[in-house]
């Protein structure tokens, strides 16, 4: 194989072989990561259109002779090539947009508050592998959008994450980039039922992200980027629907934060601050599905109360999940009281804790009521009001069920109000209603009306391509089955039968993040 400039000709000396060191004489040695990139170009057929070259003197690929068209007719085609061809059919999902236009729009002041700009410029970046370009499109225009219940100009997954990752300045940036692609691939595997092919692509990027994030963990200047990569990897696990190890990423993120000698600077930029907010929110919601919360008391080295307290006081804490700061704090307090309840024998201690919680919940309910009764609210205001109100009602249910162990009949009014909120939300929105409040209501539903509305909600949540939703649906339906079975066997009224949904999760061997 000999490369000859167009203006010159090669004089044969009659031999049928050439010295290997002359083949690429004068060309730069290709870095390992570019070698991987060039190999992936073999998956792209010649008729893709557009350039697939690399800059910096490595635009001529030694692997270009292995064209995808030579094996396109074979039955066992390469997985990546099939993914590329199938990407053209995704217009039916309205997911594909031009990546240059999309990322450029993120740089506009009214669209983005990203601290780090896209650098180098989009026009100077090497062309992406078409599969990567397709996955990045999907992430920005679908995955990032459904990470929040409604559109918001500060959505960190739509602004900060892709723009920071796309700079490719360090191993941390590349880790975040590959984590984003893995997240998108696993979402597509659930959306399209194409689990084997897209799961393969997702696993490849997931592995690369893990390899890239490890070096960045020891560099203080990359800590916030490493945090974002870890959180994205965690959500990738959640989106697979089968993972029981997402908590390992959560604990790793907490450990990374704790190891920082001065974590205050994390709160100075919107990029790192929203990552920390997400970390705390997931910690709060994830702790509610534990059979017991005593594990926190057994791990003093991960006592994050001081840091978490600072995070909870940051701007708009909770906006990414659609809950107020006060309600998330109440949920966290209920979980902590649950863990201490069996250890505290002080007379009246629980009554004091309940009185404090009720005072805060009642005040928050009044605030939400005043907000939701304003005249002629916009669609966005209705989305926000219904989502926040649902969280308030769910916090009441959570408190009564885990601290007082009341039967479903005692919380039925809260259940009905939550599904009224769900109905109001979907009347004006196609967004991704945060499922924790609706889940808390669904597992306590027993009246025909509430069961019908809960069943309708279960059908709605499975259309976003989030694999954990299937597990959520199975848990809710199993709670209903057990309650009905006990009723038939014992004759006890349905509303008086309690079923511990955390026990159902344990029996199934699940570890579900209810988001």
**pLDDT tens-digit map of 261-292:** 666 677 778 899 999 999 999 999 999 998 76
Residue 53 included in any domain: yes
pLDDT-based confidence at residue 241 (cuts at 50, 70, 90): confident
* CB distance 499 to 487 below 8 Å: no
61 & 113 share domain: no
Reading the block at residue 471, the tokens are 């597990």
**Distances 139 to 170, 232, 273, 465, 466 between C-alpha atoms, Å:** 21, 11, 21, 12, 13
227 & 172 share domain: yes
CA 365 from centre of chain? 29
40 & 12 share domain: yes
| pLDDT more than 70, % of the chain | 71
Residue 64 included in any domain: yes
pLDDT of residue 3: 52
User: Is residue 375 predicted with pLDDT exceeding 50?
Assistant: yes
Residue 300 included in any domain: no
Residue 307 included in any domain: no
Q: Identify the helix (H) or strand (E) that includes residue 249.
A: helix 246-259
* CB distance 181 to 205 below 8 Å: yes
Reading the block at residue 143, the tokens are 């995955």
Alpha carbon distance 279, 273 (integer Å):
10
pLDDT-based confidence at residue 56 (cuts at 50, 70, 90): very low
Reading the block at residue 230, the tokens are 């870890």
pLDDT of residue 39: 53
Query: pLDDT by residue (tens digit) across 418-462?
Result: 999 999 999 999 999 999 999 999 999 999 999 999 999 999 999
* CB distance 322 to 391 below 8 Å: yes
Instruction: Output helix, strand, coil percentages for the chain, rounded to the nearest 5.
Output: 65, 0, 35
- Residue whose pair of structure tokens reads 């070259």 in the numeric block: 53
Look at 278 and 31; give whichever has higher pLDDT. 278
When the pLDDT of each residue in the chain is averaged and rounded to a whole number, the result is 79
Alpha carbon distance 27, 269 (integer Å):
42
> What is the full DSSP assignment across 65-76?
TS-GGGSTTSSS
Structural domain including 351 reads 322-508
pLDDT-based confidence at residue 402 (cuts at 50, 70, 90): very high
100 & 41 share domain: no
Peptide bond between residue 120 and the one before it cis (omega within 30 degrees of 0): yes
pLDDT-based confidence at residue 63 (cuts at 50, 70, 90): low
Largest CA distance in the chain: 101
DSSP type of residue 207: H
Residue 297 included in any domain: no
257 & 348 share domain: no
400 & 416 share domain: yes
Last residue of a domain, one of 285, 312, 334: 285
* Range of weakest confidence among 81-95, 218-232, 424-438: 81-95
Alpha carbon distance 23, 362 (integer Å):
78
Residue 374 included in any domain: yes
pLDDT of residue 503: 95
380 & 347 share domain: yes
121 & 224 share domain: yes
Look at the chain and count its residues: 515
pLDDT of residue 296: 44
pLDDT of residue 187: 96
What φ, ψ does residue 41 adopt, rounded to 5°?
A: -65, -20
* Range of weakest confidence among 13-17, 171-175, 364-368: 13-17
Residue 311 included in any domain: no
pLDDT of residue 57: 34
Alpha carbons within 13 A on the beta-carbon side of 126: 18
135 & 58 share domain: no
User: Is residue 249 predicted with pLDDT exceeding 50?
Assistant: yes
Residue 302 included in any domain: no
Count of structural domains, the chain: 3
Of 94-108, 358-372, 433-447, which one has max mean pLDDT?
Answer: 433-447
pLDDT of residue 491: 97
pLDDT of residue 194: 66
SS3 for 274-341 is: HHHHHHHHHHHHHHHCCCCCHHHCCCHHHCCHHHHHHHHCCCCCCCCCCCCHHHHHHHHHHHHHHHHH
pLDDT of residue 303: 56
Last residue of a domain, one of 77, 111, 144: 77
94 & 229 share domain: yes
247 & 370 share domain: no
* CB distance 259 to 307 below 8 Å: no
* Range of weakest confidence among 6-20, 95-109, 179-193, 361-375: 95-109
User: Is residue 80 predicted with pLDDT exceeding 70?
Assistant: no
Alpha carbon distance 288, 402 (integer Å):
10
Look at 494 and 32; give whichever has higher pLDDT. 494
Alpha carbon distance 150, 384 (integer Å):
8
Average pLDDT over residues 311-317: 88
DSSP type of residue 403: I
Last residue of a domain, one of 234, 268, 285: 285
Average pLDDT over residues 113-137: 56
64 & 112 share domain: no
* Range of weakest confidence among 113-122, 151-160, 211-220, 453-462: 113-122
User: Is residue 41 predicted with pLDDT exceeding 90?
Assistant: no
């Amino acid at each position: 194989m000999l490369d000859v400039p167009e203006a010159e000709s090669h004089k044969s000396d009659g031999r049928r072989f050439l010295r290997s060191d002359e083949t690429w004489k004068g060309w730069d040695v290709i870095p390992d990561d570019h070698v991987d990139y060039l190999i992936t170009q073999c998956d792209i057929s010649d008729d893709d259109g557009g350039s697939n070259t690399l800059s910096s003197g490595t635009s001529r690929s030694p692997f270009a002779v292995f064209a995808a068209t030579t094996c396109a007719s074979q039955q066992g085609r390469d997985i990546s090539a099939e993914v590329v061809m199938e990407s053209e059919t995704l217009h039916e999902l309205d997911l594909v947009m031009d990546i240059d236009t999309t990322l450029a729009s993120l740089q506009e002041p009214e669209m983005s508050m990203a601290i780090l700009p896209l650098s180098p410029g989009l026009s100077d970046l090497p062309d992406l592998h078409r599969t990567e370009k397709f996955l990045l499109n999907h992430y920005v225009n679908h995955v990032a959008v459904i990470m929040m219940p409604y559109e918001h100009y500060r959505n960190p997954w739509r602004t900060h994450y892709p723009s920071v990752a796309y700079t490719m300045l360090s191993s941390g940036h590349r880790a975040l980039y590959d984590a984003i692609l893995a997240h998108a691939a696993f979402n597509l595997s659930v959306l399209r039922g194409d689990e084997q092919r897209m799961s393969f692509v997702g696993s490849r990027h997931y592995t690369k992200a893990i390899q890239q994030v490890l070096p960045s963990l020891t560099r203080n200047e990359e800590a916030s980027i490493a945090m974002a990569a870890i959180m994205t990897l965690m959500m990738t696990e959640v989106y697979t629907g089968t993972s029981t190890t997402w908590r390992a990423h959560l604990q790793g993120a907490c450990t990374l934060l704790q190891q920082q000698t001065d974590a205050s600077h994390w709160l100075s930029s919107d990029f790192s601050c929203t990552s920390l907010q997400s970390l705390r929110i997931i910690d709060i919601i994830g702790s509610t599905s534990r059979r017991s919360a005593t594990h926190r008391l057994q791990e003093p080295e991960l006592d994050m109360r001081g840091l978490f307290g600072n995070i909870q006081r940051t701007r708009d804490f909770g906006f990414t999940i659609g809950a107020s700061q006060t309600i998330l704090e109440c949920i966290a307090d209920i979980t902590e009281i649950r863990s201490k309840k069996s250890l505290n024998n002080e007379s009246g201690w629980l009554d004091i804790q309940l009185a404090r919680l009720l005072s805060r919940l009642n005040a928050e309910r009044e605030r939400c009521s005043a907000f939701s009764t304003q005249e002629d609210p916009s669609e966005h205001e209705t989305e926000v009001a219904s989502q926040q109100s649902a969280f308030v009602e769910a916090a009441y249910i959570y408190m009564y069920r885990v601290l007082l162990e009341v039967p479903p009949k005692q919380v039925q009014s809260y259940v009905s109000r939550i599904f009224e909120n769900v109905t109001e939300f979907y009347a004006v929105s196609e967004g991704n209603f945060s499922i924790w409040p609706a889940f808390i209501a669904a597992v306590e539903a027993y009246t025909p009306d509430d069961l019908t509305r809960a069943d309708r909600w279960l059908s709605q949540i499975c259309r976003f391509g989030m694999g954990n939703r299937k597990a959520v649906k199975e848990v809710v339906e199993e709670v209903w089955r057990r309650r009905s079975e006990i009723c038939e066997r014992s004759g006890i009224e349905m509303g008086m039968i309690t079923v511990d949904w955390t026990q159902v999760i344990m029996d199934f061997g699940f570890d579900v993040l209810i988001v």
